[in-house]
Amino acid sequence: MNWQWTIAKHDPDWKSLFLGIGTGLREALGELAVRIDHVGSTSVPGLDAKPIVDIQISVMDDEDLAAYKAKIEGLGFQWRSDNPDRTKKYFRETPGSRRTHIHVRRAGSFSEQLTLLFRDYLRAHPADCLNYAAEKHRLFELYRHDRPKYVEGKGPVVWEILRRAHGWSQETGWKPGRSDA
């Protein structure tokens, strides 16, 4: 599925894809999921992105894998025990399925809140959204055959956006809105 390693123009259908998966997750997890949110670039209207839907599930205890692992796997996702990011549990689609990333994080944690702030800031600031998209296109052209370099290259622009997002959060008293699913 090489089409997934590209930067595509924003597709309004990404929201529908999320809603379909998010509804299934909500039914399977019930109250165990404090929040289920569409995150990442596909969640920001107008932002070009890799056509991969990212979903963040917030739970009270992300270390209690037994409470949610089988429920998520029952919807066709696989737990990636080799994930090096210790701030989340990570699930992916089964081979041959549409690319989807599921990030399970502790509700209220820094990583959960930072992900939501980044998304909400970009949704509210179209100029930064466009600049971020331009940088992603530029980096994709430079590192088309070196995905880790592409990801690393986004670091400076992401941290600059987060710096501005922090200021915005202080000015507005930002809090995450309602859960998406």
Element (H, E) at 174: none
Residue 58 lies in a domain: yes
Spell out the residues 6+ positions from residue 150 whose beta carbon is closer than 8 angstroms to its own: 139, 140, 142, 143, 144
Going 132 to 160 to 18 to 6, the CA torsion angle's sign is: positive
Going 116 to 120 to 121 to 126, the CA torsion angle's sign is: positive
**Would you write out the chain's pLDDT as a tens digit for each of its 181 residues?**
454 678 999 999 999 999 999 999 999 999 999 999 999 999 999 999 999 999 999 999 999 999 999 999 999 999 999 999 999 999 999 998 999 999 999 999 999 999 999 999 999 999 999 999 999 999 999 999 998 999 999 999 999 999 999 999 999 999 999 999 9
Q: Tell me, what CATH number does 23's domain have? A: 3.30.460.10
Residue 65 lies in a domain: yes
Between the CA of residue 59 and those of 33, 140, 158, what are the distances in Å? 5, 34, 25
Q: What's the structural domain count of the chain?
A: 1
Q: In a 3-state reduction of DSSP, which class is residue 81? A: coil
Residue 180 lies in a domain: no
So what's the pLDDT on residue 4?
Answer: 61
Residue 67 lies in a domain: yes
Residue 181 lies in a domain: no
Name the residue range of residue 115's domain: 2-172
Between the CA of residue 102 and those of 49, 91, 154, what are the distances in Å? 17, 5, 21
Residue 178 lies in a domain: no
Residue 14 lies in a domain: yes
Output 77-84 pairs: Cβ under 8 A, ≥24 positions apart: 77/102
Residue 179 lies in a domain: no
